[in-house]
């Protein structure tokens, strides 16, 4: 199965847009692609259930028929770090429910995109890091780099931390989050020269961007070969 864990250089840098664009790209190649966001904070009550906007976007972009509860097994109300949001909800984020949901989604998909929370080092709980989940599922990581001042430092430190955790970086996507950023192309070229994996694409700045349109800006190497 084609599977990736999508992390970012920070929160709010386009992980969900990149993940949804990847789902559209994979489905465009004829694959049944499903998305997951195992832990999500900042949820809204819809029809009596907590729902997260990012997880709903993944559900819309992915293979129809995948239950929301499997896409987002831990839906937490408050828009806080997951550890704090879970504490407020009286919930303990743990591996087993995530692994069970992953198995159910994988049974209905040829490809799986799992979106993380915040940046790579953001904890899932007091005793669970994102690296623990990724290593358990034997997933490669795709890093979304938010293009803004400081992105070189954030990207290289993130890549170093991922490697130090014993996880393989499959590639990276540049996400143009700051329309005022200067010398964007120069920064992208500096990243290309220094990152330990290839660039899968550059997502342009576009308010209310359509993930299906953004998929055209991506090149997934293993599908292009």
Q: Is 15 a catalytic residue?
A: no
Is the Cα dihedral 120, 219, 26, 221 positive or negative? negative
The string of DSSP letters for 72-124 reads -SEEESSSS-HHHHHHHHT----HHHHHHHHHHHHTT-SEEEEEEEEETT-EE
- Both structure tokens of 99: 């692994």
Contact yes or no for 17/203 (Cβ under 8 A): yes
Catalytic residue among 15, 24, 27, 37: 37
Beta bridge partners of residue 181, listed in sequence order: none
Task: Report residue 116 CA to chain centroid gap.
Answer: 5
The partner residues of 31 in beta bridges, in order of sequence, read none
Give the burial class of 12: count Cβ atoms within 10 A of its Cβ; 0-12 exposed, 13-18 middle, 19 or more buried: exposed
CB neighbour class for 68 (10 Å; exposed up to 12, middle 13-18, buried from 19): middle
Residues labelled catalytic: 37
């Amino acid at each position: 199965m084609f599977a990736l864990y999508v992390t970012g250089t920070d929160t709010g840098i386009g992980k969900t847009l990149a993940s949804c664009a990847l789902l559209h790209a994979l489905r465009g190649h004829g694959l049944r692609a499903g998305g997951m966001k195992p832990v999500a904070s900042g949820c809204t009550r819809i029809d009596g259930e907590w729902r997260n906007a990012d997880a709903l976007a993944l559900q819309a972009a992915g293979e129809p028929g995948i239950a929301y509860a499997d896409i987002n097994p831990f839906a937490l109300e408050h828009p806080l770090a997951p550890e704090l949001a879970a504490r407020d909800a009286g919930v303990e984020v743990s591996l087993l429910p995530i692994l069970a949901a992953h198995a159910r989604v994988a049974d209905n998909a040829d490809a799986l995109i799992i979106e993380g929370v915040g940046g790579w080092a953001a904890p899932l709980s007091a005793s669970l890091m994102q690296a623990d989940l990724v290593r358990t599922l034997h997933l490669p990581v795709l890093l979304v780099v938010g293009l803004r001042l400081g992105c070189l430092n954030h990207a290289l430190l993130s890549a170093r931390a991922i490697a130090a955790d014993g996880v393989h970086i499959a590639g990276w996507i540049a996400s143009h989050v700051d329309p005022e950023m200067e010398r964007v192309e120069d920064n992208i070229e500096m990243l290309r020269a220094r990152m330990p994996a290839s660039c899968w694409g550059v997502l342009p700045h576009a308010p209310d961007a359509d993930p299906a349109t953004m998929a055209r800006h991506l090149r997934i190497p293993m599908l292009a070969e």
